[in-house]
Structure formats: C-alpha cells, structure tokens
C-alpha cells in the first residue's frame, strides 16, 4: 500500500485544497438548517414576508458558494486523482522495464497491461472518491433515512419544476462529455497498444537497450490520456454541484410554499423543518452511497494486484560495480553450461554445453526442432542467466558485465522479426540512434534492403505499421538484419534470420558480413545447410546438448545428426 500511496505525495497540496473546499461545502450545508430556523421563527411564525424573502436570498447566496466550493473540491480531487494515476502507471511501467522474461511470464503480458490500465483506474476512482464523499455520504445517509420514514411529502410537487431543469442540465453534461469519452477511450487504446507492443517485443527492446526511448513513447501516450481524462472529468463533475444548487433552490421554494401552508394550517412547522433538513441529505447520499462501496471493493483487489508488481524483484540484475569497458572483442566461451527456465522445471533445456568462438569467427548452430538452438544464443546477451556452468566473453563471466553495456555490444536478429510503428529510418536507428543517413543507406545496402526501401514512394521515410504488418516476411528480416549491423557489434546473433529470403539474396547478405563485419563474432542459427556450410565452426545440437563441433566436411564424417540433415536436404534437391 505504501508503495502505491507515495505517488499521491507530490499532489498533497491539491489534496489539502480539495479537503478545504469540502469543508467549506459542508459548512454551507450546515448553515442551511440555521437559516431555515430563522425563517421559521422570525418570518413564518410572525408572518413577516419580507424577512422570508431577505433570508431566502441569503440562503441562495450560501447555496451558490456551496456550489462553487463543490466545483473546486471536485476539480482538485480530479486533478490529484488523475495525476496520481498517471504517475502510478509510469511507475509500474518503469518497474516492468526492469523485469526479466521470467518475471513477465509469471504475470503474463495481458495481466500486466490490465494492472497498468484498469486496475490503476479503479485505484484512481477510489482516491478521488475518498477526497469527496467517503466521510460525508454514509453519515448523512444513516441519519436522514431514519428521520424521513415518517415525513409528509405533500409538497413534493415542487420537484415537478425542479426535475426537468435537473434533467436538462444532466442532458447537457452528457452531450458535452460523450465525445470526450470517445476520445478518452481512443487514448486508452493507444496507451494499451503502446504497452502491449513494448511487452510483446521486450526482447528486442532490451537487446538494443532502448528502455528509455520506450519510456518516452509511453509517457507521451500516458500524458495524452491524462489530459483527455481531465477534459472529460471537468465536465462530468459539474453534475453534483449543479444538482446541489438546484436542490438548494428547491429548498427555498419549499420554504415559500410550505410557509404558506403553515399559515393556512395545512402543514406544521415540525413537518416542514424535518422535510427540509433530511430530504437533501438523502438525495445527496443515495447518489454516491452504492457507488462508493462498489468502487472500494473493486479497488481493494486492484491495490493488491498493483502492489504485487512493485514488490516483485527482477530475477536478472547487475552485480555491485559491474564491468564496463570501451568495447568487447567478441571471444565467447561456453563452459559446461546447463540451463532451464525455472527452478521448478525438471528437464534442462541445455545440458553441459561447451565450445569456444574466437573473435571474428562465424559459428553456425544447427539441430532439430526443440534441440535448444535459440535458447543457446539468447544466453549470450544475458536475456536469461545460465543455471549451471559459465558463459564467458573475453574471458569474463557475463554476469560481471553491466547488462546494458553487454547488450550494446551485441547485435541480435531474433527468430521473430520485430519492427515498431514509425518510419524505416527510425526503425533502423534502433541500432544506432546517432547514425547518419549515409550510414543507414550503407547498412541497408549491405542487408539487401535498399532496393525495396527506395521502391516505396516515401523511401526511408515510409511509415511501418505496428509489428511491420505492411511489410513482407523477407522485407522485415532484411530490415532487422540492417538494424543489427548498424550497431557494428562485437557479437552478432542471427536466429534463422534469412529463412524468408531467396538463396541469392542470402548469399549476398553473407558476403556483406564477411566485408562489413569481418571482425564481428557471428552466431548463425539456420535450417538450411547451404546457409552454414562455410562457417568456421558448426555446432550440432541434439537432445539439448552439443553432439559435435566442426567444419562442414568434418561433421559429414563424425556427426550422424548433421549428416541426416544434410542428406535430407540433398534429397529434396
């Protein structure tokens, strides 16, 4: 609870203002019975019509001030509540950026999105409600409901005049606020889309160390939602003050007509006094009573769910004083590495993996489906921590490196080609945000992407839909390769990254690697033997372990698994 409520501290001044205006509002309400008693005693009982009119005008002025206090209380409550929710969402989002994949899988992407949106909204409503009605409404209701059981409602016809005005004001509020609610829902959709895009593509975000850029994108959508919500709420909150004003005007009218009834002996002073004192209390409290408990019930679960996010520590952290050097060389050594995704998992995904890759070498990883190829290379940028053994880069355990520094030196093209909404050049600059237009074009040519990019009407300014939905699989692959190459990484990981391109294009891309990234240690996962036969070393994975390591010619002689893969592909030809 403390982790959540700390986000209200920056707005404590606004909260105090809301409380102050609420006190003013209550004082005005409490003045009404007193003024009423003066009217009854000095006006009605003595038949002094002018006194009734004068004090009645004073009551109207008090009602107007009460309405003003109500508006200001509601505005301050809304400002504090919405701003608190915006900061809370940003806090949760920043916390999630620190999570490992194990943490994210524990919650599930959908659950995290819900916690950042709906759950925060429920908490926001509760905080706002607490500043407005939590104390006043229940007390008013409990007292007034008992006292009105015996009232005579003979003068209730006065509401025939008040209700149409109330309905008209409510209709105007609805008409004005409905379009804003539509805009607010679109803003919510945009926010959810931004969150979902980030979480679905979190491996790419972390591999390219773009958490800060994603935070900026998120904060933009978050701020838009906050501003839209405030515009809508500033209209909706007029409902209660207007209703309060109308009900107080009705009180004056009831005094006028009720006074005449008392003069004519058709109503007693006690009946009029009781009616006036308690009818308004009932009307106010009933409107908010049920909503208060519903929101509190829903918010209690939301408080718990959001607190779970804040109390969860990332399973993947930097050590104290991590190593940051100028640049990695790219020597990679697996020493008896074993891995499983969780401590409760019985079977290891990788078992006793050992091999070495020297600077500038091309290492191919082949094997059947489920043999652990992708998991193997995802350990290198420390997307996961090894369970047993050691993974060394330049002779240093990767756990000793600063995580961001490590990933800045590694280029990754994952099996799932992920692009983000934005222009082609913006996507390519994920590899190097300071890359010039010339560098972008150079690496796009190296990845065999320049030709199709320039075929677009807007060239490198062409807008890419979320996930690259408006591009083909081969185009997405080539853009992802170019993006990784722009980093000029010490280590490059290509996970089945050319499966959607033809063999001629693939050959040209491999030639680019040999010239543009000749000093880069490259790990290639591929299904086609033709894609890896020229590699310096080929690692054959079978049943979660390394079956053999060697060149193409060596493995044809020593590895049955490799030979079977090769022969099956030759047979297809």
Cα–Cα distance between 98 and 405 in angstroms, integer?
15
Note whether 453 and 332 are same-domain residues: no
Note whether 324 and 437 are same-domain residues: no
Q: Spell out the per-residue pLDDT of the chain, length 573, in tens.
A: 678 888 988 999 998 888 888 888 877 876 776 677 677 767 777 788 888 899 889 989 988 998 898 889 888 888 998 999 999 999 999 999 888 888 887 887 767 887 888 789 878 888 888 887 776 776 676 666 665 556 666 666 666 676 677 767 767 777 777 677 657 656 765 787 788 778 767 878 888 888 888 888 889 888 888 888 788 778 777 767 777 777 777 777 777 777 777 787 777 675 677 667 767 776 667 667 655 655 566 577 678 888 888 998 888 889 899 999 888 999 999 999 999 988 788 889 999 999 999 999 999 999 888 888 999 999 999 989 999 999 999 999 999 999 999 999 999 998 777 888 999 999 999 999 999 999 999 999 999 999 999 999 999 999 998 878 888 888 999 999 999 999 999 999 998 888 778 888 888 988 888 889 989 999 999 888 888 888 999 999 998 999 999 999 999 999 998 998 888 887 644
Note whether 307 and 258 are same-domain residues: yes
Note whether 476 and 340 are same-domain residues: no
**Three-class DSSP labels, 380-417:** CCCCCCCCEEEEEECCEEHHHECHHHHHHCEEEECCCC
Residues 6 or more apart whose Cβ sits within 8 Å of residue 171: none
Note whether 307 and 451 are same-domain residues: no
Q: How many domains does the chain have?
A: 3
Residues 6 or more apart whose Cβ sits within 8 Å of residue 38: 55
Instruction: Count Cβ atoms within 10 A of the Cβ of residue 355 and give its class: 0-12 exposed, 13-18 middle, 19 or more buried.
Output: middle
**234 lies in some domain:** no
Select from 57, 70, 78, 75 the least CA-distant residue to 28.
70
Select from 70, 139, 126, 73 the least CA-distant residue to 282.
139
Whose structure tokens read 């796009």? Answer: 444
Confidence (pLDDT) at 118:
78
Residues 6 or more apart whose Cβ sits within 8 Å of residue 491: 328, 330, 332, 380, 393, 409, 410, 411, 520, 521, 522, 523
Instruction: Tell me the C-alpha to C-alpha distance, in Å, between residue 217 and each of 4, 86, 223.
Output: 23, 14, 10
**479 lies in some domain:** yes
Per-residue burial over 303-313, b if 16 or more Cβ lie within 10 Å, else e, is bebbeebeeee
Token pair for 354: 């050992």
Cα–Cα distance between 201 and 198 in angstroms, integer?
5
**218 lies in some domain:** no
Residue 294: its H or E element? helix 269-311
Q: Which residues pair with 537 in a beta bridge?
A: 363
Cα–Cα distance between 230 and 380 in angstroms, integer?
46
CATH number at residue 113: 1.20.1560.10
**119 lies in some domain:** yes
Note whether 67 and 104 are same-domain residues: yes
User: Sheet holding 362-367: strands in order across?
Assistant: 410-413, 491-495, 521-525, 362-367, 537-542, 545-550
Domain boundary among 488, 509, 538: 488
Q: What is the pTM (predicted TM-score) of this model?
A: 0.69
Domain boundary among 311, 342, 372: 311
Select from 244, 309, 246, 377 the least CA-distant residue to 89.
309
Instruction: Tell me the C-alpha to C-alpha distance, in Å, between residue 268 and each of 50, 56, 147.
Output: 21, 19, 16
CB contact at 8 A, 132 and 77:
yes
**210 lies in some domain:** no
Cα–Cα distance between 285 and 264 in angstroms, integer?
33
Instruction: Count Cβ atoms within 10 A of the Cβ of residue 279 and give its class: 0-12 exposed, 13-18 middle, 19 or more buried.
Output: buried
Confidence (pLDDT) at 128:
85
**Three-class DSSP labels, 2-40:** HHHHHHHHHHHHHHHHHHHHHHHHHHHHHHHHHHHHHHH
Note whether 440 and 333 are same-domain residues: no
Note whether 397 and 513 are same-domain residues: yes
What length does the chain have?
A: 573
Note whether 139 and 55 are same-domain residues: yes
Domain boundary among 289, 311, 333: 311
Residues 6 or more apart whose Cβ sits within 8 Å of residue 102: 315, 316, 341, 342, 384
CATH number at residue 542: 3.40.50.300
**190 lies in some domain:** no
**184 lies in some domain:** no
Residue-range definition of the domain harbouring residue 148: 2-179+240-311
**229 lies in some domain:** no
Helix axes 269-311, 120-130, angle to 10 degrees: 140
Q: Please count the other Cβ atoms lying within 10 Å of the Cβ belonging to residue 282.
A: 18
Note whether 444 and 303 are same-domain residues: no
Note whether 427 and 454 are same-domain residues: yes
Count helices and strands (H / E) in the chain: 21, 12
Phi/psi of residue 327, nearest 5 degrees:
-165, 145
Residue-by-residue DSSP string for 430-463: TS-TT--HHHHHHHHHHTT-HHHHHHSTTGGGPE
Note whether 398 and 435 are same-domain residues: no
């Amino acid at each position: 609870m403390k982790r959540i409520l700390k986000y209200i501290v920056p707005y404590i001044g606004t909260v105090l203002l809301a409380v102050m205006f609420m006190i003013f509002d209550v004082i005005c309400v409490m003045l009404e019975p007193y003024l009423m008693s003066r009217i009854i005693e000095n006006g009605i009982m003595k038949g002094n019509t002018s006194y009734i009119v004068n004090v009645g005008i004073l009551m109207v002025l008090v009602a107007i001030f009460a309405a003003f206090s109500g508006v200001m209380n509601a505005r301050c409550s809304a400002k504090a509540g919405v701003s608190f929710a915006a900061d809370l969402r940003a806090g949760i989002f920043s916390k999630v950026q620190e999570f490992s994949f194990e943490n994210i899988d524990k919650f599930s992407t959908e659950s995290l999105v819900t916690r950042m949106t709906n759950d925060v909204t429920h908490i926001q409503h509760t905080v706002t409600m607490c500043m407005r009605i939590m104390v006043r409404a229940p007390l008013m209701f409990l007292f007034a409901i008992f006292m009105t059981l015996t009232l005579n409602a003979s003068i209730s016809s006065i509401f025939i005049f008040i209700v149409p005005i109330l309905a008209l004001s409510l209709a105007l509020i609805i008409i004005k606020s409905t379009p804003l609610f539509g805009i607010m829902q679109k803003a919510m959709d945009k926010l959810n889309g931004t969150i979902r895009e980030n979480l679905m593509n979190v491996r790419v975000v972390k591999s390219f160390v773009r958490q800060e850029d994603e935070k900026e994108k998120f904060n933009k959508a978050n701020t838009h939602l906050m501003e839209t919500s405030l515009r809508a709420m500033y209209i909706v909150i007029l409902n209660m003050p207007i209703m309060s004003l109308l009900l107080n005007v009705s009180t004056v009218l009831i005094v006028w007509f009720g006074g005449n009834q008392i003069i004519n002996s058709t109503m007693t002073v006690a009946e009029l006094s009781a009616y006036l004192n308690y009818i308004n209390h009932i009307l106010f409290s009933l409107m908010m009573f049920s909503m208060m408990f519903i929101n509190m019930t829903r918010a209690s679960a939301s408080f718990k769910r959001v607190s779970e996010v804040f109390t969860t520590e990332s399973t993947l952290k930097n050590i104290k004083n991590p190593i940051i050097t100028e640049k990695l060389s790219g020597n990679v050594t697996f020493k008896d590495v074993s891995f499983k995704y969780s401590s409760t998992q019985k079977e290891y995904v990788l078992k006793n993996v050992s091999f070495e890759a020297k600077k500038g070498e091309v290492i191919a990883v082949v094997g059947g489906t489920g043999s652990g190829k992708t998991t193997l290379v995802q350990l290198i940028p420390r997307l996961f921590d090894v369970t047993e053994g050691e993974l060394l880069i330049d002779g240093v355990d990767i756990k000793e490196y600063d995580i961001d520094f490590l990933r800045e030196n590694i280029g990754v093209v994952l099996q799932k080609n992920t692009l983000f909404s934005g222009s082609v050049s913006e996507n390519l600059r994920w590899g190097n945000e300071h890359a010039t237009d010339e560098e972008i074009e150079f690496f796009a040519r190296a990845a065999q992407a320049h030709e199709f990019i320039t075929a677009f009407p807007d060239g490198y300014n062409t807008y890419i839909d979320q996930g690259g939905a408006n591009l083909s699989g081969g185009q997405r692959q080539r853009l992802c390769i170019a993006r990784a190459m722009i980093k000029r990484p010490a280590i490059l990981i290509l996970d089945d990254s050319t499966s959607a391109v033809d063999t001629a294009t693939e050959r040209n891309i491999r030639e680019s690697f040999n010239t543009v990234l000749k000093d880069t240690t490259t790990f290639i996962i591929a299904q086609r033997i033709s894609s890896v036969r020229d590699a310096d070393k080929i690692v054959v994975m079978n049943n979660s372990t390394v079956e053999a390591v060697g060149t193409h010619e060596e493995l044809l002689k020593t590895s049955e698994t490799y030979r079977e893969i090769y022969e099956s592909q030759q047979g297809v030809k």
